[in-house]
Amino acid sequence: MRQLILDTETTGLNARTGDRIIEIGCVELINRRLTGNNLHLYVNPERDSDPGALAAHGLTTEFLSDKPKFEEIAAQFRDFIAGAELIIHNAPFDVGFINMEFGLLGLPKIAETCAGVIDSLAQAKQMFPGKRNSLDALCDRFGISNAHRTLHGALLDSELLAEVYLAMTRGQENLVIDMLGDQPAPGAVATARIALDDLDLLVIAADADELAAHEAVLSDLDKAIKGTSVWHAAPVDAKEADAEAAA
């Protein structure tokens, strides 16, 4: 699977009022491995950045004045992201700007170019409800060094987000990976597939002492919350579940 961690920097916060993209960074993952095949583009927006945005990214009008306009890099950008799954922190913001830039050129929206979009901010909010889930906060939470990040930068932020995303989704890396339908990356070493249907997995049931210890832990949890913990709730009978689903 080809995935791209994508980030943009812009002149301001609102694409509908004339703000433009000034920097694009993409970091490529293939089968959850960094390939080093990244894309980094600066764009001349033909306007000044808002003071708040300039303080965040530090890309001055003078610096961007000799950079290509979006229409000059659009084909390169579209070719690079075509068919990939995009991973973006606060995806609606970046996708909105990209669609605006594509629209100005009469090009299809990003949904018609890519295989899909994952919002890593939405994922983080589900994993850590009620906590700060900015890129810096997630770097701290997962022990990823961002000491070199003094200003926002599209490629730097994409590189950090790639590490954060891999850490967030590490549970998806199973001991047995079903590669059916996937094509190996160029240069990858071919490995034998495992016929899952032929595996005879040994199931070891808990003994009486282990069950009693487990029950004691759940009872302590019930006392602590003065109620019934979700792990102590009675399992739903399969027939009852089917009846509820049919109702």
Considering the domain architecture, whether residues 128 and 228 belong to the same structural domain is answered as: no
pTM for the model: 0.68
In a domain? residue 177: no
Which positions ≥6 away from 122 have C-beta within 8 Å?
91
Considering the domain architecture, whether residues 31 and 126 belong to the same structural domain is answered as: yes
Q: Which domain holds residue 139?
A: 2-172
Considering the domain architecture, whether residues 11 and 116 belong to the same structural domain is answered as: yes
Phi, psi of 117 (to 5 degrees): -130, 130
Considering the domain architecture, whether residues 139 and 213 belong to the same structural domain is answered as: no
In a domain? residue 194: no
In a domain? residue 201: no
pLDDT per residue as tens digits for the range 196-246: 455 555 567 778 888 888 788 778 777 776 777 656 655 444 444 444 444
In a domain? residue 196: no
In a domain? residue 120: yes
Give the model's pLDDT for residue 163.
95
β strands within 131-176, DSSP E: none
In a domain? residue 142: yes
Give the model's pLDDT for residue 203.
60
Considering the domain architecture, whether residues 15 and 87 belong to the same structural domain is answered as: yes
**Structurally, how many domains does the chain consist of?**
2
Place of tokens 């084909």: 75
Give the model's pLDDT for residue 205.
74
Considering the domain architecture, whether residues 108 and 62 belong to the same structural domain is answered as: yes
pLDDT per residue as tens digits for the range 178-209: 433 444 444 444 444 445 455 555 567 778 88
Considering the domain architecture, whether residues 105 and 224 belong to the same structural domain is answered as: no
Considering the domain architecture, whether residues 142 and 219 belong to the same structural domain is answered as: no
Give the model's pLDDT for residue 200.
54
Give the model's pLDDT for residue 178.
41
Considering the domain architecture, whether residues 165 and 214 belong to the same structural domain is answered as: no
Considering the domain architecture, whether residues 126 and 11 belong to the same structural domain is answered as: yes
> How far is residue 100 from each of residues 61, 78, 103, 106, 231, measured CA to CA in Å?
21, 14, 5, 10, 48
β strands within 35-159, DSSP E: 39-42, 85-88, 116-119
pLDDT over threshold 70, residue 6: yes
Q: HSE on the CB side for 30, CA within 13 Å?
A: 13
Give the residue from 128, 146, 172 where a domain finishes.
172
Q: Quickly list DSSP for 196-224.
A: GGG---------HHHHHHHHHHHHHHHHH
Tell me, what CATH number does 69's domain have?
3.30.420.10
In a domain? residue 83: yes
Considering the domain architecture, whether residues 33 and 125 belong to the same structural domain is answered as: yes
pLDDT per residue as tens digits for the range 153-166: 899 999 999 999 99
Considering the domain architecture, whether residues 42 and 158 belong to the same structural domain is answered as: yes
The answer to whether 168 and 142 are in contact (CB under 8 A) is: yes
In angstroms, the CA 2 to CA 31 distance is 7
Give the residue from 172, 194, 229 where a domain finishes.
172
Confirm whether 152 is a catalytic residue.
yes
pLDDT per residue as tens digits for the range 118-132: 999 999 999 999 999
Give the residue from 128, 147, 172 where a domain finishes.
172
In angstroms, the CA 13 to CA 7 distance is 14
In a domain? residue 150: yes
154-168 vs 135-142: helix axis angle to the nearest 10?
50
Catalytic residue among 40, 57, 89, 152: 152
Place of tokens 């003071």: 51
* pLDDT top residue among 194 and 28: 28
In angstroms, the CA 6 to CA 165 distance is 12
